[in-house]
Amino acid sequence: MRRYLPLPLLFTFILPIQADDTCLFISQYEPDLTIEVSTKDTTATKGYMNYKGSPVFRFSTGIRTEYRGQYFSFDNIPKLLSEKEAKIVSGSVITIIGDQSGTGTPIRERKQGLTKVFFPNLGLNYYYFLADGHGVDEGLQDMTKKVNSILSAAEGFWIPSEICKKYVLYGW
């Protein structure tokens, strides 16, 4: 009697596994906070800001189609199905390479250096998001270590992993 390998099992040995790479931004001074995004799409990508590995906010970023530059958006993650998603902040990503602007430095003046990104108004808008009563368990009446870490990181720079440069960072 002949034995046949089931076709699906055969494909697992023949076809290579293709996993999406993950782009990771790490807060420069709050390493418990990271932003992890998919690299499936190169013009716009989505992911999460994580605190100690647990999602805190939804995050998206992408390249503008008509004007040079990159945008970002942070939204809350509804805890209940009846809860609506609320935008915390959105705007332009500021990319710094070494001590120069990632988009505004003329080609002849560009020097290599550490790449960092900044999300303007993230800290301010997160503070007022809490003050408006969103996330009652994490509101201003209960300034936890987590909330303080997020506020600190939100006002600082984020260091991208190497894979981010290939997929989502706009610079040179």
pLDDT, tens only, 16-58: 444 457 889 999 999 999 999 988 766 678 899 999 999 999 9
Asked whether residue 4 is assigned to any structural domain, the reply reads no
Domain assignment of residue 126, given as a range: 21-167
DSSP strand pairing (33-38 vs 87-92): unpaired
Query: How many other C-beta atoms are found inside a 10 Å radius of the C-beta of residue 1?
Result: 2
Residue 29 lies in a domain: yes
In a domain, 112, yes or no: yes
**Residue 25 in contact with residue 117, Cβ under 8 Å?**
yes
Within-domain flag for 8 = no
Residue 2 lies in a domain: no
Tens digits of residue pLDDT in 134-171: 654 544 445 688 888 999 999 999 999 988 877 666 66
61-114 pLDDT tens trace: 888 777 777 889 999 898 877 778 788 999 989 888 888 888 788 878 888 888
Residue 5 domain-assigned (yes or no) = no
Question: Does some domain include residue 119?
Answer: yes
Total domain count, the chain:
1
Residue 116 lies in a domain: yes
If one compares 14 and 47, the residue with the highest pLDDT of the two is 47
